[in-house]
Structure 1
């Protein structure tokens, strides 16, 4: 790749990448509804003369770039869906639809993968193998997601990757920096529901009842001891109650309370322990107070765990591409990510692309109605993903030899 300056080529298509991102931002589509997004992707692949197939997990698209030099196969993935959030930004490309917004940057992911495809296809004469462009629907549709269904639908039946890579915009890093590490990058993302049943009665005569709200209060407090007293202090875990429903009237003792929440962990052993403790605590505390509890635990996305070898390659590529300060040491996030499903089947890397907006004293986080990115990061994302693709294929070729 010495004869090709990827940065210069990425800058040449910057306006096009921004245009694609803004078009997608204006027209967000929720999980499993990405029909127009899928059509836009297909239209651009047609223009670029990149072969593709469709129908994976409904709206998913697989582009295939065959290099003219022999080699292995890798995959690059971008998620496509938006969130049910009302946008509060004021720029001139805000969402055209109420309660639909690209508040997690998937519009940028699609635009950058299309840009990467443009460059790889333009210089496929130097490409040592095949690159798969995986456009995935329904990443936000936890705990189901779209990754597993794409694999079930045969996205990798004809071409199976030796490694798979994805990037995600990240407002906690400045433009020009990439966050990557070996091991856990994102956490197990699970959900639960606890239904507590007592017995109702008049608020003035609580001794004749079992107050489900009081029981729920004790259950909530006791659940927090799982992290503080049952989890190794050197491990990480979060138990959050995000929703409580109970009671019907101010002067009636509540008969039933429903608690809903999430559990975040990195290690499966910690997750298994929490599941068991959650059941024993909820049932035990409720029983001791004359009530009953039913716990429903829903396994969500698995932890996103980067392969050490490929994380090193991405970091080395970033440092050589963007400079010695471009890959700072980072800590993993407890956020969930459907890309972890791919990494359970194929080695690879999920990394963060710095997109912080300098004019904002406080960056708006992912899933915030005012989330936005510094669009200067788009060509950096294209450049890095393109360089990673060339580097990964070259590394596989060297191993083979």
Structure 2
């Protein structure tokens, strides 16, 4: 049994959180399970990519019909913002579910597999939408207990399209008429035991930037390299030089990952090409280390290129910033999970994940938490389960009730009367 949370200062026992409003939330969520699963499967069978998800938007609006919600559709994306106003005035809390799929061909064999060639919900966003919609239904039955408003953020374009930023620019953080004061996003994880909730204080996911490097030399005959300026040795040396930069310039306690993932040069065996190209990703956990890598990477490239007589052009494309949890809100999520789901369904994250998430834009502006919900299928070793972004990934739908209950608990706790 995991009855404590280990922080940097050591283990701290979970406090007792007696709250009559939280009792029974899991059973209420389980009662909604048929609706949750039906919506999840509808979305899974008809996935959509990017910022334009018209069918998904219509399915969400239809599922929310009849609830006491103020619903707004996005203008720059097919987002849905729904506001539930409590029985008493008070602050606003935000709950997010992302909606877009991935460009993968599904190979799961489930009866509700994707009908769209080359598109699949391989990161569980269909489950996020379904959990959030059922949480809206559950909280609507508790509206008189809410001292404030709940903003439900149904977001397109998480998979690299900055959908959260679009919704922020359209005013989702002020949709209730008052600035959101707390925020929560849950993300399913196929390699965690089903029903388990885990998160951590501080950085939980990394910033993700991309780089493109062009090494320019002078082409010639491969039998006479002294008459050319060969860009390939320079490109090859850059791979090692960038790794050395990380190990010698970056604090190991504020880490960075620089991975070269593509090298391209040449057309045939007896020609030295004029140029070579490298591309890759940069992952960092803080703004300070991110800025340092952005500064150092071009310097390394230019100087290695100069040593080989080549010109090097470097471009860094910023992606999502680090996802950083509020210490208070992350701790509160773990405490709520222990009370609502039981202590066996709570575990603190030992370390951040180097993946990236655009809920980071919300957490830059609002204290909140990003947490994972385990969904490993029954009878499968979590370490061996197909992972998120695999075209064979399966999610245990029984865990979705835990997510619905957690969303509801977070809102009820934040909006105590």
TM range (shorter): over 0.9
* Structure-2 residue corresponding to 1:382: 404
Offset at 1:376? Answer: 0.9
Q: Give the one of 138, 162, 166 matched to 1:145.
A: 162
Structure 1 CA distance, aligned partners of 2:264 and 2:57? 38
Offset at 1:254? Answer: 1.8
* Structure-2 residue corresponding to 1:348: 368
Secondary structure of the residue that 1:51 maps to in structure 2? strand
Structure 1 CA distance, aligned partners of 2:76 and 2:66? 24
Structure 1 CA distance, aligned partners of 2:354 and 2:174? 32
* Structure-2 residue corresponding to 1:323: 342
1:240-284 CA-to-partner distances (Å, cap 9, x unmatched) read 111222212222112111111110010111111111211111010
Secondary structure of the residue that 1:2 maps to in structure 2? coil
Secondary structure of the residue that 2:190 maps to in structure 1? strand
Query: Retained in 2: the 8 A contact 1:213–1:246?
Result: yes
Structure 2 CA distance, aligned partners of 1:158 and 1:238? 37
Structure 2 CA distance, aligned partners of 1:157 and 1:2? 30
**Mean CA deviation greater in 216-225 or 69-78:** 69-78
Structure 1 segment 14-29 matched on structure 2, within 5 A: 14-29=33-48
Query: Retained in 1: the 8 A contact 2:164–2:358?
Result: yes
Q: Give the one of 52, 55, 69 matched to 1:50.
A: 69
Query: Retained in 2: the 8 A contact 1:45–1:51?
Result: no
Query: Retained in 1: the 8 A contact 2:215–2:276?
Result: yes
Match status 1:358 vs 2:375 = no
Offset at 1:208? Answer: 1.3
Offset at 1:55? Answer: 1.5
**Structure 2 portions without partners, runs of 5+:** 1-18
> Once superposed, what is the RMSD of the aligned Cα atoms?
1.4
* Structure-2 residue corresponding to 1:252: 271
Structure 1 segment 2-401 matched on structure 2, within 5 A: 2=20, 5-141=24-160, 144-159=161-176, 160-330=179-349, 331-361=351-381, 362-394=384-416
Structure 1 CA distance, aligned partners of 2:239 and 2:336? 46
Q: Report the TM-score when normalising by structure 1.
A: 0.95
**Mean CA deviation greater in 331-340 or 270-279:** 270-279
Offset at 1:49? Answer: 4.4
Offset at 1:390? Answer: 0.6
Aligned length: 393
Q: Report the TM-score when normalising by structure 2.
A: 0.91
Secondary structure of the residue that 1:172 maps to in structure 2? coil
Flag the 1:168–1:57 CA change in 2: closer, same or farther, 3 A: farther
Query: Retained in 1: the 8 A contact 2:334–2:348?
Result: no
**Mean CA deviation greater in 243-252 or 15-24:** 243-252
Query: Retained in 2: the 8 A contact 1:56–1:149?
Result: no
Secondary structure of the residue that 1:134 maps to in structure 2? strand
Query: Retained in 1: the 8 A contact 2:70–2:82?
Result: yes
Offset at 1:357? Answer: 1.7
Structure 2 CA distance, aligned partners of 1:86 and 1:135? 24
1:59-111 CA-to-partner distances (Å, cap 9, x unmatched) read 01101111112321101011110111111111111111121111111000000
**Mean CA deviation greater in 284-293 or 49-58:** 49-58
**Mean CA deviation greater in 300-309 or 145-154:** 145-154
1:286-341 CA-to-partner distances (Å, cap 9, x unmatched) read 11101111111111101010011111211110111122232213121011000000
**Structure 1 portions without partners, runs of 5+:** none
Structure 2 CA distance, aligned partners of 1:180 and 1:393? 22
Structure 2 CA distance, aligned partners of 1:59 and 1:5? 34
Structure 2 CA distance, aligned partners of 1:76 and 1:137? 14
Offset at 1:13? Answer: 1.2
1:101-150 CA-to-partner distances (Å, cap 9, x unmatched) read 11111000000000100000122122221100001111112xx5111111
Structure 1 CA distance, aligned partners of 2:376 and 2:359? 23
